Structure 1
Amino acid sequence: MRRQLGSDAGLTARMFLTMFLLAAVYLFFLAVLWQAGVSYTGIILFVGIMLAVQYYFSDRMVLWSMGAREVSPAEAPELHALVERLAALADLPKPRVAIVPTSMPNAFATGRSPKHAVVAVTTGIMQRLTTAELEAVLGHELSHIKNRDMTVLTLASFFATVASFIMQHFFYWGGAFGGRDREGRNNAMVVYLASLVVWVISFFLIRALSRYREFAADRGAAILTGSPGQLASALVKISGSMARIPDRDLRQAEAFNAFFIIPALSGNSLMELLSTHPSLERRLAYLRKLEREMEDWR
C-alpha cells in the first residue's frame, strides 16, 4: 500500500517564504549587473556549465569522494529489502544502494532525479542501529529523493554561486565590469559589493532552506514507517556516536554535511544559523509533535 507523505502547512509556508526571498535577492543582483553594464553572459554560462556537471554527475562524484561502493541484492539482501519496501510505499523507483566502509554512522541520498538516485549507508550506522531504526533513516533519505531536494538546492544556489564566482575572480573579470576609467572602476566596485551582499544573504537563506528540507524529510520518514519514535531513536544514537569518531574522519566528511542525515562536525558544533541541518533538539521536538498528530489520526 502506498503512503502519502502528507504536508505540514507551516513548514511549506516557511520554505515558500525562503524561496521568495531568494528570488528577490537574485532579482536585485541581476538589476545591479544590468545597471552596471556588466557583460555577465559569459560568467553565468560558465557557472551554469559548472553546476550542470555537478547536477548530472553528483551521484558518481559523491560516491567516489566518500569511497562508497554500490552493492547488489546478493551482497546486502536485508538492506536492499528495506530500500525496496520503502520505495514501494513512497511510490518511487527503487534507487541504487551503496555502502561506505567507515565507522562514522551516517547515511545520505544523492542523484538528479528519482530515476537516477542512490542511497548510501555507512558500515558504522548498520552496526549501531536496529533494523527499525535503520528503516527510519532510509525513509528519511527516500523522502529527500521524493521531494527532489538535490534539484531544489542546486537551483536555489545558482546565483549565489555566480556571486561567489565574481567575488573570487573580481580582478580577473574587472574588465567586464565597465573598463578602466573612473566610471568603470565605480561600476566594478558596485558589482563587487552587490555580489558580496547577495552571497552573504543567500548563504543564510539557502542554509535555512536546507534545514526546512530536513524537517520535511523527517516528516516523510515518520509517515512512511509509521513510527517517528524510531527515527528519533536513530538520530540520538547517530549524534551520540559522532563524539567517538576521530576528528580526522569527521574533517574529511564535513564537505558532505548537506547530504548526511546528521552533519559530521569536528570540535564544537556550529551555530544552527550556519548549519545545513536543524539542531538535534528541534528535530526531536518536531518528531514528538508528529507522533502526537499520528496518534490523533488513528
Structure 2
Amino acid sequence: MFNAFRTTVLLAALTAIFMAVGYFIGGTGGMMIAFGVALVTNLIGYWNSDQLVLRMQNAQPVERSRVPELYDMVDTLSKRAGIPTPAVYVIETDQPNAFATGRDPNHAAVAVSTGLLRSLETREIAGVIAHELAHIRNRDTLTMTITATFAGAIGMLAQFGFFFGGGNNRNNPLGPFGGILMLILAPMAAALVQMAVSRTREYEADRDGAEISGDPLALASALGKIAASAGHTVNVAAERSPAMAHMYIINPLSGRAMDNLFSTHPDTANRINALRQLAAEMSVDDKGRRPQPRPTPQNAAPVSGGGWRVPTVGRTDEDGGQRGPWG
C-alpha cells in the first residue's frame, strides 16, 4: 500500500514538473501539450518502460543453457524471497554492476553485467542478486523504472523547447530567459526527485537482500568492489542514458561516494557499515556461516560450515575464489 502511494505521489510530482516545463516553453498551450505527453508517458512507463530500459542499457536476454549456474542462483534466491523467478539479462560491459526492472514481481527482470560475473566471487554475486530481488519484492522497480522514463523525457522536452524556439516564444512568461532556465532547471528538478527516492530504497534493499541471501558481509564486499571499479570503468550505455543511473546497485556514472542531496545513491561506506551491523545482529561471519548447535541425542551431527549455499558459478581460481562464467 505504501509503495502504491509513493508511486502515485512520484507520478504526480513528475507530471507537475513536466507541465511546468511546458508552461515556461509555450505558456498555457504548452502546459496542456505537456500534460498530454505526461499522460502518454505514464501509460508507457507502467506497461512498457521495463523493456525500454533494458534496450537502452543494451541488456540481452540469456538462455538457461548459456549460464545455468546464474539461472539456478536467481531461481533459488527468488524462492527464498517468495517471488516468481524473474527473467535474466546480461549487459556486455566491463563495469561490474546490476539492476532490476519491471512493474511487479510477475513482470520483472534482473540484469547483471559481464564485468560483475567476471570479477565477483559466488557469494558476492548472490548478494547482489538478492539485493535486486528485494527491489522486485518491495515493488521498488516500478518507481525506479517510471522515474527513469520521466526524468529522461523531461530533459528531452526542455532541450526541445530551447532549441526549437521555446526560449523566444511570446507566450513564455519569462521571455528568452524562460527556455534557458528550463533547460537548466527541469532536468535538475527531475533528478532531485529520483535522487530522493533512490537513497532510502537502497538502504532498504541492502537489508532485505542480506536477509534473503543470509550473508550480509558478502553483499558488503560486493558493494565495495563495484564502487571501486565503477569510478574508472566506463559503462557506455549508462553514460548515454544518465537518467537511468539510479536503477543500478552502484552509481554507474561516477562511482563517487556522496551521501547528500545530489547523489543518486547513498554513500557506499555507510551502506557497508549498515550491513556489517546487520551481520553482527544475525551472528553471521565473513564466510556466511552461523554458529552451529552442539549435537545432542535428538540432534543430527552438526553440519560443516553454515550460512547460505549457492550453485557454483564459473571456475575456481587458485586462491579458492569462485568466479563468474565469463571469467
TM-score, with structure 1 as normaliser: 0.72
Contact 1:102–1:124, Cα closer than 8 Å, also in 2: yes
- 8 Å CA contact 2:195, 2:263 repeated in 1: yes
Counterpart of 2:50 (choices 34, 59, 65) is 59
Aligned-partner Cα distance in 2 for 1:29–1:264? 26
Q: Name the amino acid aligned to 1:110.
A: T
User: What percentage of aligned pairs have identical amino acids?
Assistant: 37
Q: State yes or no: 1:277 paired with 2:265.
A: yes
Partner of 2:130: 139
* Closer, same or farther: CA 78–26 of 1 in aligned 2, 3 Å: closer
Task: Tell me which of the two structures has the higher relative contact order, counting C-alpha pairs closer than 8 angstroms and 6 or more residues apart.
Answer: 1
CA distance in 1 between partners of 2:257 and 2:123 (Å): 30
Structure with more of its chain in helix, by fraction: 1
CA separation of 1:173 and 1:109: change in aligned 2, threshold 3 A: same
Three-state SS of the structure 2 residue aligned to 1:257 is helix
| Residue number among 175, 182, 196 corresponding to 1:208 in the alignment | 196
Structure 2 partner of 1:229: 217
Inter-CA distance 293–208: structure 2 relative to 1 (3 Å threshold): farther
Amino acid at match of 2:256: S
Counterpart-to-counterpart distance in 2, 1:90 and 1:71: 22
The equivalent of 2:96 in structure 1 is 105
Cα–Cα, structure 1 residues 18 and 291, in superposed 2: closer, same or farther, change >3 Å? farther
Between the aligned partners of 2:283 and 2:66, the Cα distance in structure 1 is 38
2:265 is paired with a residue of what secondary structure?
coil
Equivalent residue letter for 2:28? V
- How far has the Cα of 1:199 moved from its partner? 6.2
Aligned partner (choices 55, 79, 83) of residue 88 of structure 1: 79
Match of 1:38 in 2: 28
| AA aligned opposite 2:114 | T
8 Å Cα contact 1:109-1:144 kept in structure 2: yes
Instruction: Quote the residue 1:258 is aligned against.
Output: 246
Q: CA separation in 2, counterparts of 1:252 and 1:30?
A: 28
* Whole-Å separation in 1 of the counterparts to 2:60 and 2:182: 43
Taking structure 1 as reference, are residues 44 and 126 closer, same or farther at Cα in structure 2, changes over 3 Å only? same
Q: CA deviation at 1:229?
A: 0.6
- Matched letter for residue 70 of structure 2: L
Secondary structure, in 3 states, of the residue corresponding to 1:120? strand
User: SS of the counterpart of 1:275?
Assistant: coil
Q: 1:188 to 1:150 in 2, by over 3 A?
A: farther
Q: Supply the AA of the counterpart residue of 1:206.
A: Q
Q: CA deviation at 1:288?
A: 2.0
Q: Partner of 1:94: helix, strand, or coil? A: coil
Q: Report if aligned partners of 2:18, 2:34 keep a CA contact under 8 Å in 1.
A: no
State how far apart, in whole Å, the 1-side matches of 2:13 and 2:37 are. 23
CA contact (8 A) 1:163 1:196 kept: no
**Superposed, which structure 2 residues align to 1:142-221 within 5 Å?**
142-153=133-144, 167-168=158-159, 186=173, 200-201=188-189, 203-221=191-209
Identify the residue that residue 119 of structure 1 maps to in structure 2.
110
Which runs of structure 2 are paired with 1:238-253 in the superposition (5 Å)? Answer: 238-243=226-231, 245=233, 249-253=234-238
Deviation of 1:283 after TM superposition, in Å, equals 0.9
Q: 1:82 corresponds to which letter in structure 2? A: M
CA distance in 1 between counterparts of 2:12 and 2:258 reads 25
- After TM superposition, give the deviation of residue 67 of structure 1 in Å: 3.1
Secondary structure at the residue paired with 1:72?
Answer: coil
Worse-matched range after superposition: 135-144 or 72-81:
72-81
Deviation at 1:23, TM superposition (A): 6.5
Stretches of structure 1 lacking an aligned partner (at least 5 in a row): 1-11
| Pairwise CA distance, 1:240 | 2.4
Note if contact 1:22-1:202 (Cα within 8 Å) is conserved in structure 2: no
Query: What is the aligned partner in structure 2 of residue 5 from structure 1?
Result: none
Q: Deviations over 1:265-296 (max 9, x none)?
A: 35x83744322111211111221232233349
Does the CA contact (< 8 Å) of 1:26 and 1:198 recur in 2?
no
Post-superposition shift, 1:206?
2.5
Q: Report the AA paired with residue 91 of structure 2.
A: V
Q: Does 1:291 align with 2:279?
A: yes
Distance 1:173 1:54, change over 3 A: farther
In structure 2, the residue matched to 1:47 is: 38
Structure 2 counterpart SS, 1:85: helix
Unaligned runs of 5+ in 2: 285-290, 292-327
TM-score (norm 2): 0.66
* Structure 2 residue matching 1:214: 3-state secondary structure: helix
CA distance in 1, matches of 2:178, 2:281: 49
Larger displacement relative to structure 2 (101-110 or 200-209):
200-209
